[in-house]
Structures are given as structure tokens and as C-alpha cells.
Amino acid sequence: MNENLLAEGKHDQEPPRTFRLHDHATNVKAFCDNSIRTSKYSAFPFSPRFAVWKNLFEQFHRYANCYFLVVATLQLLPGLSPTGQFTTIIPLSLVLFVTFCKDVFEDYRRHQRDAEVNSQTINVYRNNTWQMVLWRDISVGDLVEVARDISRGEFPADLLLLWSTEDDGLCHIETSNLDGETNLKLRKSHSENAQTQHPPFSRSDPSTFQGNIFCQPPNKDLYNFEGRLIRGDRPEDTSAIGIDSILLRGAKLGGSTKKVVGLVVYTGSHSKLMMNQQATRHKASSLESMTNRQIIFIFIFDIILCSTCAAGLGVSTNVSMDHWYLAAEDLNPVWTAVTGVATFIILFNNLIPISLYVSMEMVKIVQAQLIGSDLEMYHGATDTPANARTSSLNEELGQIQYIFSDKTGTLTCNIMDFLKFSVGEMSYGTGTTEIGRAAALREGRALRDDRPPGIKLEKGFFFYDDRVSDVHGQSREWRWMHQPNRGQLEHFFKILAVCHTVVTEEETDESGQPVLTYTAASPDENCLVCGMRYLGIKFIGRDATHVSIEVAQANGKPTVEKWRLYEVIEFNSDRKRMSIITRDPMGRLYLLTKGADTVIYDRLRRPVSREEESTNRVTKTTLERFGADGLRTLCVAQVQLEEAQYAEWAPLYKAATESVGDRQKKVDAAAELIERNLELVGTTAIEDKLQDGVPQAIELLRTAGLNVWVLTGDKQETAINIGYACALLHSSMEVFKFDENAPRESIGGKIREFMHDAQRSKARNPNIDVGVVIQGATLVDVTSETAPLENKENFLKLTEHCKAVICCRVTPGQKAEIVRLVKDGLGQVTLSIGDGANDVAMITEAHVGIGISGLEGMQAARAADYAIGQFRFLVRLLLVHGRWSYRRVSKVILYSFYKNILLYLTQFWFCFCNFFTGQSLYDRWALASFNLAFTGILLLTPRITLDPVIRFSALQPGSGKTAIKDHNSQAYDTTNRGAKLNTANQELRPDNQPRCQSAFRVP
């Protein structure tokens, strides 16, 4: 075996953490305390966080506030201000004070929450006794006892699990407050090597548990932990610590676990929860950027006006020397003109509206509340309302040009139904899918559901095949037991019932009878394990060393089998598979694995017989057929290990799991050494139905001028059929498909060929729709940093002609690369929408990120700017709220500019009547209250009438095209946006109206 694969990687920049257990005096000095602080300000005047200084520092990061501070300072100089000394500083102070009060009030509530959390009590072992201490007084190295009846079972710090009331030291936890996932997760007490001579942890005498912890420095990775527990000098006294033994702050006890004891590893601001509390990357809308540019332009215009008037003052002073009654003999015209610049800057200071930012913020906050309270975007099935996690991008929703969507859980329900499977060359299962019916209709074939009428289907189990089982009411007949390949079928079912990370929990039904329920990290695993239960192989539980299953027998008396569990190599998005090393009841040592067909087929052994070669070939055809029906497929494989082979590999894997620094890469490398020479056993096919309203939503979005891209990890056939089923593709569309098996050197030529074909097609028929289907392997030469620039440019030119693009077999990193390519290459406003942790990268990369609160957890929703319950709500979010926000914020900006330009250009014209003396036309207090009064009137009298596109039921299926086309000038039209906020220009025309109107308002 190649041990170089496990070579040490680079460690984190911060050195690893080392500390001794029970050494409270040393640890409390070496590490931060356990108090948390989410507040920004302090009430202590000499603190750098003092509320007044820090808030003012933040507010003067806005250029407009700095500008008005300079003007207010000039006004205080005697003899310069024609409008009084306080007409600017009072409104500025009011704006600063209101913002200060808002920020301090929000921070005061944070202080209250922090004090409440830090003052909770917990049972800690210190000075050889258990005692109650405050959360804030916990230190690294303490032993902490967490109980369900104290602090709701929440963990006060990041803990290493040492003891639990559950059998075998297992612990069920809820992490919904940490990562949003509602399913229970299983943690196991830290286990040491059997060869160690040191006593294990004892709840009755914790003082005997001594040692040192060596672990990675604090970081914000919630799904990884690398460390070692060192009890002595011998290698046998060192044991690895992984994330499966870590209880993170923010999680709490769940299930039947009543009490646990844990060792504190990270405290306070070093806990992974607090490390993840950092502010996300700031996203500024293009409208806000445009407003800043307009402010700079108006400032330049202001300087031009001031210079013109100052020059006029110099000329007037020179002329006035000839008139003795003006007493101008002692004045220097040049110096008078220079000092006049300051006077006119004060006179025209409010050409830039002092209340603009406040007005915009107030409008956006109300808009965010409207989004959250819109019942049309409330998903009752999951009790999920729309959630605007930021208000700064509301108007950006009305300018989206490109939408990048995940498939599973975003376009589909992520509710899995076990439908079909194959073992050897035999395929089992009947019935049709929504996507399969759409594909058959497109090809003109008749497709019928061949399941018998009246068949009762269980939730999550839509499988029927009379060769396997007959399910009617409560009676079950396991017909697979009478098939010639019974042994193959039973072994396949057992693999699926054993190879997983599902957790069992016993509940009671309505009649009070105990019911065994399953909790899984993904709906796929839950579906497969439930499916095996309906087929006679029931998973009944697991402990630290065994997985127990109940196997149905022909005599009706099931038997219980225990499979010895040695290693679990978990699934991740890079490996695309999960494996276990186990020993069956017959004593045979197996590596069992299930995963994507691409990774499994790459690791299959060379066929040892014609029968095995035929099985591999037929199974690939079966997978293509399943994929054509839009089914989610997995391959199941195994390899029987030699004892010596496992004995040689196990130390390498142990070293990888105990490493500190790049542990996951080393574990993956170790897994590669054993996950080879696999024998294909069978496949599974699960249906994931489309969400309600997805085809109509995509049709309406495309009709409104938006480009929709689907980024998925599915096979090409599955992705294409889903594209047709959700109306992304249609039969009259010309679709260009890249061949993933094509040589890499030919990809650039293929892109150019497709680009020229698309251009010719558009030239012949401008109304023709074009689509592209491309695989992740091909995208490596398009989106990666090392891809040729010509490929990127030609691919973007090709996609500019496309109404739809489907990228299949893509990784999470490639999703972000695709978004970045379009965002930077085309300069268009982008939106990404997804529901899982694998979508977070593309959600944060896009201008606007939308998270769907789905069954894969809340990672995407928490990382997003907006969260919704279903894909179809995206239509209303963009076409209604996005358009309203864009128009309304535009009008607020234009109105703010309009009223101030109108007012102060009148002052400019008046200068020609007063000899450029800087005399104000208005009363000073009228000037001071002008912005406040007029802005308040604007915000208190919004237009309530609905836009024509809404009155037109445009969001109803079938009516979208008519509504959009008939009201193109009013609808969400992404192709008609210039540089001048044109949705409101037609009514306000800020460039011309104020200038003309100001001239007629001079008395």
C-alpha cells in the first residue's frame, strides 16, 4: 500500500491546542473564559467599544455624513454662512442621533441576551467534587455534566463526550439551533485503545481520569474535529478524537438521552458556534452603487455651481468698486471669490440630500417586513414563511438576469419513494414517474402504470413487483424467498440494512404501542432503510460495535443477526460514497459500499467471469433506464477482505483518523487504499417528485426575460428528463450536448462549433430557443482557474444565445465557479437558489442568494440573503416584491434628488439677482426642516395600488405569458434597464425637471 498518500499536510496557521485535564488554575489563564459577547458597544467611556465613539466612527464611514460635517463646521465660522450657523448641524445631529438610538437599542437587547446566557448554571467537577457554577466560569479542561432538566439540556461549551446514560455510551443530540437540521444525530463516548493500562472514565470517580488533549486550534468547521487524547507515553495510550465524539455549543440533548458528561475543549468565543457568528460578506446592490456614483456626480456639479457663483462674486466685487454706496473699496475681488467658495458650498450643501440614506433604510426595512408577512409565500406544510435575512438587497431582486438552481430539494421535493432496484442482471420494480411520463409524451410513446389497481402503497415505499413481495393491507408474503436468486436478493437487502448511519428511536403510536422510527442524515438513506423493512430485512438498532437487523423467514419467525462493525467511512461530496467494514454472522470480513455509479464503476475489479462482465454491462444499461425516468440511483458493491489485508490497512486508517491537520484528506486517501477491486452487487432507484408549480414558475420566469440554469450532480439522462419535466427544455428547443468522454483537447473546438451553430440558428430564426447540456468533467476546462481564457469567452458567448443551461455531474465547488464565471464574465446580476450544504458556495458567490428551508437542513437558508419554503415562491419574490422594491427605492432616490435639486437650483438662479452675495432666498429654519418634512410625507404616503402585472393573475398557471407580454412596459423586464434607474425616470425625469422648474420658481 502507498503510505505516501497519508503524508502530513499543512497545519493550520495557529499552533495546535494542548492542555491538561483538571488543571483549572493553568487553563483559566491560558485560554479565554466561557462568557460570550454578541454586543458591539460598551457603556464604559474609556473603552474602545464605547457606544458613542464607536457608533460615530461607523456612521462617518458614509461619505455623505463626512460631507455634511465639513459643511456644518464651515457654517460655524463667523461671516461665512448665509443660512445661519445651525441649519446643517441640527439636521445632521438629528440623523446621527436617530441612527445612534436605533443601534444602541438593538445592542442593549444583545447585552440582555448575553447576560441571560452567561448566568445559567451547570454542574462541574472541580476540586474533587461536583459543584454548580455559572456558564461564564467554565474553563478548558473542566468536566461538565449536562442534564435534560438543567438549561434545557444545552451544551455550555464544545465538549468531548466521555459518559452517557444511554447504553454503550451513545448520545442523541439536536442541532437545529446550530445548523438548522431537525433530525437527531448520534454521538458516541470517546473510546480508548483496549491495550491502554489507564483506567477509563468513571462518573463516580472522575479524578482517576487524567491525561492531555492535543487538538487543532479553534476554527469554525462544524463538521470536522481533529485531536488526540494522550494518557501516557506508550502508543497504546493515545486515542483519536473525531467529530463523532464532540458535543458542540448550540446543540442540546435529544431523544432518550437524559444526562451526559463531557470534557471542555473550546470555550466562549473559541467555540465553533461563536466562530461562525462572524459577519458574512457584505453585498451591496447595484442600485446602491449607482446611487453612490450619482452622489459623486452631484458633488462635482455642486463644486461647479459654487465655483461659478464665486467667480460671479469676484466680478461683482470688482464692479461694485465703482459704486461708493456699496462700500466695496477695501475688498479684494480675488480673495472675496476664494472665501466665497465656502459660502456657496454652505448655501448649496443640500444638493446632496442629507436624509437620503435614512430614507432608503426605512423603506427597505418596511419592504423586508412585507416580504416576511406575505401569506402568498407561506408554506403551510412545513410552517415556513418567507424570511428576508437582509434588507439591503431588496431592489436587487428586481434586477436579476441569471438564476442558478440546484435540483434535489429545490426543484424536487426531496421526499424519497423507494421504487425500483436491480440485483445481478435482474431488474425489479414497476410503475412510472412524473418525469418518465413527460419523457414518453415528448417522444410520442404510451406509458402506463403497470402496477395492479388497488395496490396499497406505503409512505416512502412505492415499490411493487409480484416476484419480490405482495403488499395488501396488513398481510405480507415475501415472494423473493422463492426466487432462484434468493441468496443474491437476501444479501443485497442485508447490505442496504447494514451499510448506513441511520439512528433508531422508539416512539408510541396513537394506540400506545411502541413504534421504531428512523432518523437519518439524508432522506435517501432513510428511504432505503425503510424500504428494506417493507421487504423483510428490518434494521432494529446499533451500538458502538454492532449493527442489528431482523431477517424475515419463510416460517414467519424472523431471526436477529448482529453484524460486527469495525469502521464507518462516511459519505462526503468529494467521495460520493460511504463504506463500512463489517463481519457478518458467518465470520466473513467485508467492505460494503454504496455510492454514485461513476465512483463505484471506477473501482470495480476486472471481471473474473463472463457472467460478471455481463452483469456490469447490463447494470450500466439499467442505470441509464432508471436515469431516463428521473430516478436517483446508487450502486451497491462489496469486497471480501483477507484478514491480513485489513490488519495491514487498519494502522494506516487509524493514523489518518488521529492526525491533526488535513485529517479529512488523509482519511479519504486511506479509504482509497481499501475501496478497490469491488464486486458489483446491485443498484437502487428512488423517485424524488417535482415540487408543485415548478414548471409554471420556470415558464413565467423565462417569459419575463430571465435565464435559468440548473446545476446538479445527477447523470446527464436524469438531468435532461427533469429539464423537460419542469419546462426548462421543450421539444422545439435546439439542445447542444457535450460528450463527457470527449478528449480534453477537443473541448475548445466543440465550444466554438456549438457557438457558431447557435449563431446560425438564431440568424435563421430569431425566435428559436437554444439550450446547452454540459458535464462537470467538461466544465473543468471552462470554469477552473487553469482553463484557457478562449474557452471561457466562447462558452459565455454560446450561453448568451441560450434560454436554458443544464450542468450535470458538477461538484459544489464547480457550482460556485459557474456562478463566478457568469457574474464576472457577463457583468449581469445573478441569483443562486438551493437547499443543502453543498449549495452554500454558489449561494454566497451570487449577487443574491436564496435558501430553501428543506429536508437537507437549514445550512443554505442560513447562508442565504432570503429564505423561502418552495421554489415556486421565487416567482412572487422576484416579479412582485423584487419589482416593487426596485421601483419604489428608485423613486425614493429620484424624489430625494429631485426635491433638493429643485430647491437649491432656485437659490442658484437667485444669486444672479442678488449680485452673488450668497444671500439665501429661504428662511433658515425652513431650510433645516425641509428634508425632514418632505421625506416624512413621502414615507407616510406610499402608493398602495397594485401594478397591472399583479392585477392580471400573472402568477397563475397558463396566464404568465399573456400578462408579461401584454404589459411588457410595466412588467419585470430585465432587458430594458439602462444606467438611469429607468423604471421611475418616465415619471420624474430628475435630469431636466428640477432645472427647468427651479428657474420658474424664482420670485
Residues with a catalytic annotation lie at 406
Q: Which helix H or strand E contains 98, and what residues bound it?
A: helix 89-118
Q: In degrees rounded to 5, what are phi and psi of residue 621?
A: -65, -40
Closest by CA to 732, choosing from 833, 672, 789, 804, is 804
CA dihedral 284, 286, 287, 290 (to 10 degrees): 110
Cα dihedral sign for 881, 882, 884, 886? positive
**Number of alpha carbons in the 13 Å side-chain half-sphere of residue 623:** 23
Q: For residue 345, give the 3-state DSSP assignment.
A: helix
Q: For residue 395, give the 3-state DSSP assignment.
A: helix
Question: Is residue 143 within 8 Å of residue 261, measured between CB atoms?
Answer: yes
Please, is 426 exposed, middle or buried when counting C-beta atoms within 10 Å of its C-beta (0-12, 13-18, 19+)?
A: middle
Dist CA 301 CA 295 (whole Å)? 10
**Number of alpha carbons in the 13 Å side-chain half-sphere of residue 802:** 27
Report how far apart, in Å, the C-alpha atoms of 153 and of each of 120, 174, 277, 404 are. Answer: 12, 10, 22, 40
Report how far apart, in Å, the C-alpha atoms of 327 and of each of 323, 335, 337 are. Answer: 8, 16, 17
**DSSP label at 912?**
T
> To 5 degrees, how large is the angle CA 368–CA 372–CA 373?
115
- Find all residues with CB under 8 Å of 872, minimum gap 6, and list them: 691, 692, 693, 694, 696, 697
Q: Which helix H or strand E contains 756, and what residues bound it?
A: helix 747-764
Cell of 226: 481533529
Dist CA 982 CA 991 (whole Å)? 12
Report how far apart, in Å, the C-alpha atoms of 742 and of each of 628, 774, 775 are. Answer: 22, 12, 11
Dist CA 161 CA 52 (whole Å)? 44
Q: Which helix H or strand E contains 264, and what residues bound it?
A: strand 259-266
Cα dihedral sign for 583, 584, 586, 589? negative
**3-state helix vs strand vs coil in the chain, percent to 5:** 45, 20, 35
Closest by CA to 756, choosing from 801, 807, 804, is 801
Question: Is residue 927 within 8 Å of residue 351, measured between CB atoms?
Answer: no
Report how far apart, in Å, the C-alpha atoms of 120 and of each of 115, 265, 267, 472 are. Answer: 9, 19, 15, 55
Cell of 680: 458489483
316, amino acid identity: S
394, amino acid identity: N
**Number of alpha carbons in the 13 Å side-chain half-sphere of residue 346:** 27
**DSSP label at 803?**
S
> What does 651-715 look like in DSSP terms, one character per residue?
HHHHHHHH-SSSHHHHHHHHHHHHS-SBEEEEEEEEEEEEPTTHHHHHHHHHHTT-EEEEE-SS-
Q: In degrees rounded to 5, what are phi and psi of residue 222?
A: -75, -15
Cell of 285: 446592490
